[in-house]
Structure 1
Amino acid sequence: MSARKVSHILKLSAAEQREFVNSFDVVLCDCDGVLWMVSSPLPRTGEAVNALKDDGKQVRFVSNNSLRLDEEYVNKFTRIGVKDFQANDIMHPAKSMLYYMKKHNIKQPVFSLCSGHGNETLRHGGVDVRTLVTKEDVEIATLDKITRPEQKMGAVLYDINLNLTYAQIAAATRYLADKDCHFIAGGTDWLLPIKADLTLPGFCDFLDTIKRFSGREPTIVSKPAVLLGEILKDIYKLADPKRCLFVGDSLTHDVRFGLNCGFQTLLVLSGSTPIEQMWQAKAEDQPHFYADSMADFIELYANISKNT
């Protein structure tokens, strides 16, 4: 199917802008590339979130990044000026793993390839997390002993981890040889947008290595999996997906996730997706709307106010 014309929210007519903001009650918003880059700010994004809140919108945040603790997220949202942010306003893979394991009574302990902060989030939620930490160089002669399963694990957990090692990956495949061991994953992003002029590889290829070698398909609890949408609908009591707007910077993870879940979708061009890529995408992969950045909501509401 050929691409279709996607409307920029600031190029809608005055009546269409009012119709757009009246079409959703809930905003689900990605973070990295939308509210900030991983290591640099984006202008006026907190002000834009507050404009949505002032209009009575429920604003929640959905990230594939578990590398920050709740208190770090609280500080980060506070620094960009978001009003009344609470830790439970954000969902990320460590939290969705926690939800899934509790709902499905996954046995413990679990073996984790998640980051240190992700593991801390899981442990704070009552999960018995085991990891593999090597205190010396790994040699071929010691690899068997180092990666040998010590006991049965209820699950292997995978997520973004900047300190991931070969020994940890190898150990995970050995635990997954037990077919009773669940395989639960986040960390599916292709790209890691660090700042405006620097994007690095994501972590999906490491996950693919584990999948291919173990012959196991993981239960994905991060974007763009529909399962995450079901988790969000349950936690945030989202009765009507069509009244939700998902805002993100990635066609493959944010827009695809929103479309999979029946949400309206808005692509912002402040992160990983250039406008040419949006225009070249098939119609079924394009967002409903797009904007240059989250800050366009400030001008949008100013336009609506002026024309009311």
Structure 2
Amino acid sequence: MESAPNDQRPEHILKLSQEQRRRFLNSFDRVFSDIDGVVWCMEYDIPGVADGYSALQGMGKELSFITNNSVRSMEQYERRFQKLGIKVGESELWHPAQSIVEYLRRIKFDGLIYIIASEPFKSVLRKAGFQLLDGPNEFIKENFGSLAKHIFDREPVRAVILDVDFNLTSPKVLRAHIYLRHPDCLLIHGATDTMLPVGNDLRIIGPGPFQKILVEATGKPGATLGKPGKELGEILLQHYNIRDPKRVLMIGDMLEQDVQFGRQCGFQTLLVLSGGCTLSELRAESSPERLPDYYADSVADLAKLVNDVAKAHV
């Protein structure tokens, strides 16, 4: 079954006919799912999601999770999944720090990295054996002499990585720009979200705008290892030896990060309205690249869909 044509509006999976439901469930073998806004939100777990994933796994679907959130440690993810009763192995959980490690290994990177990210993010790269440089992490006096002391040095940095950093400062961005002036210095992005949903009707600025500053200042587009990065898609396709992307279903709650990512990879896409996108925002979206093939209220709808199809064939 091919993805819905771009000129058609997406259908709610529970409004499909019985035959359409059956064809949909038979049209994919692997599922990639986002986490925040899909499995849980910051303040609460989304009801019924464990049943939805369990129903898919019961049909033999291969399940992996892909998130742009590297602020949580792997141990924190595993504990929260266990609390919900969702079985997820470490090898089936992808976040930008892990994806960047795999990317650096694939390009055989060897050198010093200047990094702007959270401590859990940095720990993943350090554990993988990469040498990191960060900061400045102290207060800087408001004069050029103090600034210059903290952004100019002779460190042989050959890659700059930018992800979510709750302590991001202007000197950090300026220092990154100085390193990136070297023609051989790589620019690598983790999450590129412009806005981060942190609660009901509350969003804060994400790392995306700061990454755009470096892209425009250096002329280097960089490699993006968070959704919707092309480089992340290439890694997943190779890692799982995916030969027919149409037989993959991408589940997410964001039109740009999840749906656009899935579409550019050639996956089918399912938007859930349990997180960062409302029904009115979905209906207002006009870009074909950001229109999902299907939508649902939450992953819990998949359990009902699977059960209804099973009952019809008893």
The TM-score with structure 1 as length reference comes to 0.95
* SS of 1:27 mapped into structure 2: strand
Name the residue aligned to 2:124: 121
- The match for 1:307 among 303, 308, 312 is 312
The offset of 1:110, in angstroms, is 0.6
Q: Distance in 2 between matches of 1:163 and 1:236?
A: 35
Name the residue aligned to 1:23: 27
CA contact (8 A) 1:9 1:300 kept: yes
For these two proteins, the number of residue pairs brought into alignment is 307
The letter for the 2-side match of 1:271 is G
Q: Distance in 2 between matches of 1:182 and 1:301?
A: 46
Distance 1:197 1:282, change over 3 A: closer
The letter for the 2-side match of 1:82 is I
Name the residue aligned to 2:102: 99
Identity of aligned residues (%): 35
The offset of 1:118, in angstroms, is 0.4
CA contact (8 A) 2:21 2:309 kept: yes
The offset of 1:2, in angstroms, is 8.8
Q: Distance in 2 between matches of 1:176 and 1:252?
A: 27
CA contact (8 A) 2:140 2:146 kept: no
Question: 1:3-54 deviations in whole A, cap 9, x for unaligned?
Answer: 5231111111112111111100000001111111134321121221111111
Q: Is it true that 1:164 corresponds to 2:194 in the alignment?
A: no
Question: 1:85-109 deviations in whole A, cap 9, x for unaligned?
Answer: 1111111111111111111122211
Tell which deviates more after alignment, 207-216 or 115-124.
207-216
CA contact (8 A) 1:37 1:196 kept: no
Question: 1:215-273 deviations in whole A, cap 9, x for unaligned?
Answer: 32211111112221110112222222111000011111111111100000011111111
The letter for the 2-side match of 1:172 is A
* SS of 1:278 mapped into structure 2: helix
The letter for the 2-side match of 1:109 is L
Alignment of structure 1 residues 254-265 onto 2, 5 Å: 254-265=258-269
- The match for 1:273 among 274, 277, 286 is 277
Tell which deviates more after alignment, 274-283 or 31-40.
274-283
Unmatched tracts of structure 2, length 5 or more? none
Alignment of structure 1 residues 191-202 onto 2, 5 Å: 191-202=195-206
The TM-score with structure 2 as length reference comes to 0.93
* SS of 1:16 mapped into structure 2: helix
Name the residue aligned to 1:216: 220
